[in-house]
Chains A and B, each alone.
Chain A
Amino acid sequence: MILVYDYGAGNLRSVCGALQRAGGWVRIGRGADLVRQATRLVLPGVGSFGAAMEVLSDAGVQCALQERVREGMPVLGICLGMQLMFDASDESPGVAGLGWLRGRSVRFERGRIPHMGWSRVRPGGPAPICSRPHYYYFAHSYYVQSAQETVAGVCEHEQPFAAAVRSGTILGVQFHPEKSQRAGYTLIRQFVNPTAGGR
């Protein structure tokens, strides 16, 4: 069961639809029990850092999350979901993130903000998300400053930033794969079933 975590804000329909089309059995919900039952977890890209962490920082949920992540449960963080996996975000000062990856989110200083639209992502790091550049859809004002070795894709918005990060079974993407047509769907399909062929 793929758990799409519900922080209580915004459109979860699109990401659930995409996961289902890719062959996943999806549940929207929250709480330690569902986390333990899940075989994969999606942290969706809706809402704000502070509000989402308020929902996620319940002690029981934290415990279950740490346990499952340590056990190697695959996690996909989308947009805000990716940012939540780090230590903190300037969007919500003083609020701790999940801390699975070292780094924090900061606000863009140059260019139109939010960075909104289709931008080119090129492969990066030891385990890139794609073998050649693709356009994906972005809609964000904050980006992650993370360690080089976790970067899995690079994009530019007046400056380079991490479009994707990967560490073990944890994958984060700053863009919205459920809104990125074929390239996005390929990524979702690989998350749902990594053993399926690339086509």
Chain B
Amino acid sequence: MAARRIIPCLDVQGDRVVKGVQFKNLQDAGDPVTLALAYSDQGADEVAYLDISATLEARRTFLGMVERTADVVTIPLTVGGGVRDVQGFRDLLLAGADKVAVNTAAVVTPDIIGEAADRFGSQCVVVAIDARRTEQGFRVCTHAGTRLTELEPAAWAARVEELGAGEILLTSMDADGGTAGYDVELTGLVADAVNVPVIASGGAGELRHFSEVLARTRAQAVLAASVFHYGVFTIGQVKTYLQEQGIEVRVVESEQEEG
């Protein structure tokens, strides 16, 4: 089995990183390529970009920045945000993304999953699922968390797997933006419902949050943003901590270990 993965995520508008907390209150901060390289050096297993560009112009700029990233970053790159159709998939893959994530589009037009998987391979297709607690139980949200659906996340996850998704990025909308930890219950439900890898997202604040979700659920990977962007701890520190907890992670090789 592969080592568990630590994935920093950058919210990007055009070619700039924005440190957002909940899709509001945006603060400009830095060049995505520089940050992606820094995270790669720190031992990140992959890096993710969430495109929150609002205009067509910003989207074009974003694509150019993906190209620059692919030219220099030597770990896998997942890109998501506003992907509406297979053409959008294609544009991002050709620009150098290794995986493309779809969220709302998967709910609105589920056919996009199978179409993308058939054309590009399911390992390129990530379905992002945002979910929150309601009185009826967990429900999937779309449109950047603003619209609630009737879909139950574990059932939806199983469905997208059937349709051809190669991986699921699961974000708890209750935990996201806060630092009280990943939603272990939600993550466990979804990870048990599918056989594709599941990435847990939303809520990381302390080192123990990483081991909690990885030890108590079958999530294969964790995604985090603020804790890394604000330098609360480094990816190396997270990996050292996880190793001490007996969770297998990839330790970045030093110069001497080639060959």
Contact = CB atoms under 8 A, between A and B. Distances in A.
Contact of B2 (A10, A11, A13, A118): A118
30 contacts: A10-B121, A11-B70, A11-B93, A11-B97, A13-B70, A13-B96, A14-B96, A17-B70, A17-B71, A17-B96, A46-B93, A51-B119, A114-B167, A115-B2, A116-B2, A117-B5, A117-B45, A118-B250, A120-B3, A131-B259, A132-B257, A134-B253, A135-B3, A137-B75, A140-B123, A179-B74, A179-B76, A182-B253, A183-B257, A184-B74
A179 B75 contact: yes
Contact of B74 (A9, A178, A198): A178
Interface centre among A47, A178, A181, A184 (most CB of B within 10 A): A181
A9 B166 contact: no
Interface residues of A, number: 47
Interface of B: 1-5, 40, 45, 67, 70-72, 74-76, 93-98, 118-124, 166-167, 195-197, 218, 220-221, 250, 252-253, 255, 257-259
Given A112-B197, A114-B166, A139 B3 contact: no
A193 to B, nearest CB: 15
Given A139-B123, A140-B123, A184-B74, A10 B196 contact: no
A78 B45 CA distance: 19
Contact of B252 (A80, A116, A181, A198): A181
A47 B220 contact: no
Nearest to B40: A181
A141 interface: yes
Contacts of A146: none
B259 A186 contact: yes
B74 A114 contact: no
A182 B123 CA distance: 23
Contact of A139 (B74, B76, B96): B76
Given A14-B96, A116-B167, A117-B220, A47 B253 contact: no
B74 A10 contact: no
B123 A114 contact: yes
